[in-house]
Amino acid sequence: MEHKAPIIHLFGLGFNVTNMITVLAACLIVFLVVFFCTRKLAIKPIGAQNFIEWIVDFVRTIISGPISRKEGEKFQLLGFTLLLFVFVSNMMGLPLMLTIGGYQAWKSPTADPIVCLSLALMVVLLTHFFGVQEQGFKNYFLNSYIKPVSFLLPIKILEEFTNTLTLALRLYGNVYAGEILLGLIASFGQSHGILTWIIGIPLEMVWQGFSIFIGSIQAFVFTTLTMVYMAHKVQAEE
């Protein structure tokens, strides 16, 4: 089940070629979906515009929970982009997992821990950036780490690391496990000819559907938690 990833080395650093290809592909897919759905905007939406507006409304609902409406308007584009990118990334390895010459050439980018950790780290750093931008460094530090009681400072600092890890590993674990099980079912279906195909094909279809459901839920959870963390940073303690 495990395949090596093609690595290129530049300036003493190793870069996973598969991750770079799949992340760029996910970005391109998101861009093309949004581009083609918004080419002919109308006051009364029809067709593809309805789909995009439904996603925008869904993101607004996610944001409205943890963040006030006034503050939340600033993060709608971030939430929209995250939701689409994570969803597309979770789906990419479901219809196709490609290996060439023993190297894995295609999979879900979120089935790699480095991609998930990078995404989680980016999100956490953005919460700090917007927190300082909204409140100023002094008020941000006081509201995030000192209030309501200062002796919780070490725990709140530790929480920054645990938030990053849990945000990343939750996403990675669910997507990676789904792809591993799809691969195991496919291997089983090819193991003993027609008999295992009869069993394997329905199992593969069922697990594909379940993986789509799990991937959708994980995109929702990742976006929701991002907005929860953002709310903790940009809104002062009462």
On the question of pLDDT at 235 being above 90, the answer is: no
CA proximity to 178, closest of 212, 225, 219: 212
Residue 170 token pair: 């939750």
Q: What gap in Å lies between CA 201 and CA 205, rounded to an integer?
A: 6
CA angle 133, 136, 138 (to 5 degrees): 145
Phi, psi for residue 26 in degrees, rounded to 5: -65, -45
- Collapsed DSSP state (helix, strand, coil) of residue 66: coil
Q: Which residue has the tokens 């953002």?
A: 230
pLDDT one-digit tens code per residue, 142-154: 888 888 777 788 8
- In angstroms, the CA 81 to CA 76 distance is 9
β strands within 112-178, DSSP E:
none
Report the sign of the C-alpha dihedral through residues 99, 105, 110, 116, in that order.
positive
Residue 167 has pLDDT above 60, yes or no: yes
- Answer for the pair 143, 237: CB distance below 8 angstroms, yes or no: yes
Higher pLDDT, 49 or 217: 217
> In which band, very low, low, confident or very high, does the pLDDT at 106 lie, cut at 50, 70 and 90?
confident
User: Would you place residue 49 in the very low, low, confident or very high pLDDT band (cuts 50, 70, 90)?
Assistant: confident
Helix orientation angle between 153-189 and 76-91, rounded to the nearest 10 degrees: 30
Q: Which two tokens stand for residue 201?
A: 């094909």
- The conformation of residue 75, written as its DSSP 8-state character, comes to G
Label residue 120 by pLDDT band (50, 70, 90). Answer: very high
Hey, is 229 helix, strand or coil? helix
Instruction: List the single range of 2-16, 19-33, 70-84 with lowest mean pLDDT.
Output: 2-16
Q: How many C-beta atoms surround the C-beta of residue 139 within 10 A?
A: 14
Q: How far apart are CA 136 and CA 233, in angstroms?
A: 11
Closest of 22, 24, 186, 184 to residue 106, by C-alpha: 22
pTM of the model: 0.87
Question: How would residue 219 be classed by pLDDT, with cut points 50, 70 and 90?
Answer: very high
Average pLDDT score over the chain: 84
Strand partners, 98: 106
User: Minimum mean pLDDT among 57-61, 86-90, 94-98, 165-169: which range?
Assistant: 94-98
